[in-house]
Structure 1
Amino acid sequence: MAPSGPSGSAAWTSGHLAGELRDLLLATESVEAFLQQLVGIAVEAIGEDVSAGITVARSGHPATVASSDADAAQFDEVQYGPDQGPCLTAMRANKVVLIQDMASDERFSKYRMRALSLGARSSMSLPLAGGNEAVGALNLYSRAPHTFGPRAQAQAQRFADEASRALSLAVHLVRGVEVTDQLRAALTSRTIIDQAIGIIMGQNRCSADVAFGVLRNASQNRNVKLRTVATEIVTAVGKAEASTGHQFVD
């Protein structure tokens, strides 16, 4: 059952959230898709009158990687120019930043007036930790002041805790896929190189060490990768064998 708003979100228990986010992670094909679904669940869990965005540091620069609506994207992005705001502080200082009313809260002076002009009145930014690979913030915004009372704050913290665990797992899974792809590519390269060495040995009646030296010298002289030279040799031999028109008889 969807909650009626921030004050009515207690129906989402930590166990419910954990199961929901785990299922979501298993059902999505990328971290980006997972984060986009995540902000939708955040709005449902914390309140339908709330906008949600996720900021992640990419190569040292903040970027909004998911947002529930245009409001969240705008309220996030106006912080990046002046390099000041609640989501950046939450992410960099690893602490929750709560603004009950931007009209009276005098922090973040460079950000505050721009956010007010866009209609933001209250916000809550919570740090997200995805292991050593990703650091970000879950950002919640409202066009009304004092939206985030004690119950909404507690629910948002529970959600951020579970989201951090899911994000950490997502990063781990992605790294696992990357490592598997790298190993597969390495094995493919090794196979092609071994095939090329075998061809050179057969053509020159030489040892494997000598054949590898021939391959390496060709790579260095042409300033191309060893695998590229090996692939050319294997392909050329394959075409030559195909052009002889071998026929196979049962």
Structure 2
Amino acid sequence: MVWKEREHTMATAEQGPEHDFPELLGSLHSLTLGTEEVQTFLHEVTLLAGRLVKPPASCGITTHYDGWPMTAATSDERASLIDEEQYGAGDGPCLTAMRTGEMVQVPDLETEDRWPTFVEAARRHGVRCILAMPLVIRGERRGALNIYGFERADDFNDTEIERARVFAAQAATALALTLRHIEQGQHATQLEDALRSRSVIDQAIGILMAQQQCDPEAAFGLLRKHSQNHNKRLRDVAREMIERHTGQPLRQAPPFRRAGAGG
């Protein structure tokens, strides 16, 4: 579904930004529901954002990792190179947008006097104009959406700038929802792993209770002591005990079926 949406958006891009904008937002919403990996989601967002303007621009998403700026995704290699120039210079439009939470517009790099080190490098890469939109999630500045124009100066008109502002707000919300969705999936997987481990440990406790004629607490204490003495995970100790007792490898438990799952 996501790929069909994207192909449709790309096919209709030639009709002009005014016609495309609702479809771009619709594709962004589809990504939120249909993308399981953050990296894939971010890359698709940059591809959509690059089509907010005519002609299509290069786009990158900057965020912070361990206190340092980094590019999370780009629409193409040019955007990645320009982002790196900005990090090397230590300042620039996207870093300013991320730091202040305000949109930063550079209509013409030939007349821009802010961030001279970065501007000089961006000119060498052929950049003519830049639009940097902050990505704000629940009041927290999480990154910036960077749009680089190469065709001519003053390439972003007022309508396109307003679309970029709306798109960035939607993208930030979609990013938050996507991260939450993936986080919930990871929590569910961790829960399933814990339940499988609990089943194996319970089986081993039952074996020890029968062998040692003891209660569950005492059996668990023996299992845990063996785990600590041999520096092994409790589940691994339990599995080895079951396999010794049965003389057969422990069978893999069938996967859990979540509510609403097909099949």
Task: Please show how residues 20-35 of structure 1 align to structure 2 within 5 Å.
Answer: 20-35=27-42
Q: 2:13 is matched with which residue: 2, 14, 17?
A: 2
Q: Give 2:208's aligned residue.
A: 200
* Residue type of the alignment partner of 1:86: P
Question: Relative to structure 1, is the Cα distance of residues 27 and 241 closer, same or farther in structure 2, using a 3 angstrom cutoff?
Answer: closer
* Residue type of the alignment partner of 1:149: N
Q: Give 1:217's aligned residue.
A: 225
CA deviations over 1:5-62 (Å, ceiling 9, x no partner): xxx523344x544422122233333121111111121122323341111122223332
Question: Relative to structure 1, is the Cα distance of residues 192 and 130 closer, same or farther in structure 2, using a 3 angstrom cutoff?
Answer: farther
Question: Relative to structure 1, is the Cα distance of residues 236 and 152 closer, same or farther in structure 2, using a 3 angstrom cutoff?
Answer: same
Q: Matched residues in 2 for 1:241 and 1:155: separation?
A: 60
Q: Give 1:162's aligned residue.
A: 170
- What is the DSSP-based 3-state SS (H/G/I as helix, E as strand, rest coil) of the residue aligned with 2:114? coil
Cα offset, 1:241, TM superposition: 9.0
Task: Please show how residues 77-226 of structure 1 align to structure 2 within 5 Å.
Answer: 77-130=84-137, 135-143=142-150, 144-226=152-234
Contact 1:54 1:67 (C-alpha < 8 Å) held by counterparts: yes
Q: Give 2:80's aligned residue.
A: 73
Q: Give 2:6's aligned residue.
A: none
Q: Matched residues in 2 for 1:239 and 1:11: separation?
A: 68
* Residue type of the alignment partner of 2:190: Q
* Residue type of the alignment partner of 1:162: Q
User: Normalising by the residue count of structure 2, what TM-score does the alignment of the two structures yield?
Assistant: 0.82
Contact 2:127 2:148 (C-alpha < 8 Å) held by counterparts: yes
Structure number with larger C-alpha Rg: 1
Question: Relative to structure 1, is the Cα distance of residues 3 and 58 closer, same or farther in structure 2, using a 3 angstrom cutoff?
Answer: farther
Contact 1:101 1:122 (C-alpha < 8 Å) held by counterparts: yes
Question: Relative to structure 1, is the Cα distance of residues 150 and 168 closer, same or farther in structure 2, using a 3 angstrom cutoff?
Answer: same
Cα offset, 1:240, TM superposition: 5.4
Q: Matched residues in 1 for 2:193 and 2:137: separation?
A: 27
Percent identity of paired positions between Structure 1 and Structure 2: 37
Cα offset, 1:115, TM superposition: 1.2
Q: Give 2:68's aligned residue.
A: 61
CA deviations over 1:201-224 (Å, ceiling 9, x no partner): 111111111111101111222222
If asked which structure has higher relative contact order (CA below 8 Å, sep 6+), I would say 1
Contact 1:17 1:162 (C-alpha < 8 Å) held by counterparts: no
Q: Matched residues in 2 for 1:35 and 1:52: separation?
A: 11
* Residue type of the alignment partner of 1:214: L
1:19 to 2:18 alignment: no
- What is the DSSP-based 3-state SS (H/G/I as helix, E as strand, rest coil) of the residue aligned with 1:139? strand
User: Normalising by the residue count of structure 1, what TM-score does the alignment of the two structures yield?
Assistant: 0.86
Q: Matched residues in 2 for 1:106 and 1:42: separation?
A: 26
* Residue type of the alignment partner of 2:34: A
Question: Relative to structure 1, is the Cα distance of residues 93 and 234 closer, same or farther in structure 2, using a 3 angstrom cutoff?
Answer: farther
* Residue type of the alignment partner of 2:129: S
Question: Relative to structure 1, is the Cα distance of residues 39 and 210 closer, same or farther in structure 2, using a 3 angstrom cutoff?
Answer: same
* Residue type of the alignment partner of 1:71: R
Q: Matched residues in 1 for 2:140 and 2:188: separation?
A: 17
Question: Relative to structure 1, is the Cα distance of residues 215 and 135 closer, same or farther in structure 2, using a 3 angstrom cutoff?
Answer: same
